[in-house]
Chain A
Amino acid sequence: MNWSEFFHMGGYAFEVWTCWGLTLAVLICFVIYPKRRNARIRSEILRQIHREQLDQKNDA
């Protein structure tokens, strides 16, 4: 079996590859989005901690 035949999918290339591609795209989104959200929240919390430390120094 050669590759062009494989990608041709017996004439159903559009249907098969759209379905697999769509699924893959959605799965990737559900990995990337929470990871980025996690990183964003972590940086927000870090900034908050720094602010609190600065406040404590100023008070002292």
Chain B
Amino acid sequence: MNPLKSIWNFLSSTYHRLGSPREFYTISQYTTPVFGFLFLALSLFGTYFGLFVAPADYQQGDSFRILFVHVPVAWMSLFVYVVMATAGAIGLIWRMKMAFVVTICSAPIGAAFTALALLTGSIWGKPIWGTYWVWDARLTSELILLFLYFGIMAVYYAFEERKTAEKATALLAVVGVVIVPIIHYSVEWWSSLHQGPTVFVEGGPKMPPEMLLPLAFMAVGFMFFYGYALFLSMQAKVLDNERKSRWVKEIVSDKTR
């Protein structure tokens, strides 16, 4: 059999299986702990290398160790938004129930990552720039992103009927995605105090490997954390949404699961 075709078949069958709340619940019972374990392992590695092994920066001293939480969290704030909007679009186009659940459950996680990026950034900025806040492009656009997340959450809770709320939220997430490229390219659009990009630039990263390694570990670890937290909150949401259905009652009354 054609290998490409078998891969395609596998992907489409997983997609359709994940599209049903029941299948999602059963599959996620196995995948969620795996995500949690991977996050724990990667972030412990990253923490060890970042706090103990990496030497202090010659300009910023030990304060640069904030980078290992600040940068992954800031990347994740954008990544979560893209996932949220993509899921929203999938939900709107193919009327997929579970896609809306991804959108709704991603919003608080993304908002928290964005708030963390802003907080850690400004705490770091105080000793390095001498001020907690500067009105430069990346800080400002991260703040806009936070407000976008708040708007998306506010729309979801404003509607009484769940299906309308889900669709309205997904639509707003798709509309707001215009802002994500603006955030990404804002560094080049406006000149600013904020240091320019140092990892994804032409000719490879401008960072010594003993700093890059823990950063990579932390970044991938945070991605698994997102998967972990998303699946946990999706499980609760699915149970809540489908509480009238038979399979939920079966699962709940079966103590072994």
Asked if A and B touch directly (CB within 8 angstroms), the answer is yes
Binding site for B on A (CB under 8 A): 1, 6, 9-12, 15-16, 18-20, 22-23, 26-27, 29-31, 33-35, 37-38, 41-42, 44-46, 48-49
- Interface flags, B78-107, vs A, CB<8A=1, else 0: 000000000000000000000000000000
Asked whether B252 lies within 8 Å of A42 as measured between CB atoms, the reply is yes
Binding site for A on B (CB under 8 A): 36, 51-52, 56, 61-63, 65-66, 69-70, 73, 108-109, 112, 116, 119-120, 123-124, 126-127, 225, 228-229, 232-233, 235-236, 239-240, 243, 248-249, 252-253
Q: Secondary structure of the B side of the interface?
A: helix
Asked whether A41 lies within 8 Å of B240 as measured between CB atoms, the reply is yes
A1 to B56, CA, bound (A): 13
Number of A-B contacts (CB under 8 A): 92
Q: Name the residue in B70, B112, B124, B236 with the highest tally of chain A Cβ atoms < 10 Å from its Cβ.
A: B236
Chain B residue with Cβ nearest A13? B62
Asked whether B61 lies within 8 Å of A10 as measured between CB atoms, the reply is yes
Asked whether A37 lies within 8 Å of B62 as measured between CB atoms, the reply is no
Asked whether A18 lies within 8 Å of B123 as measured between CB atoms, the reply is yes
Point out the residues of chain A lying under 8 angstroms from B70, CB to CB: 19
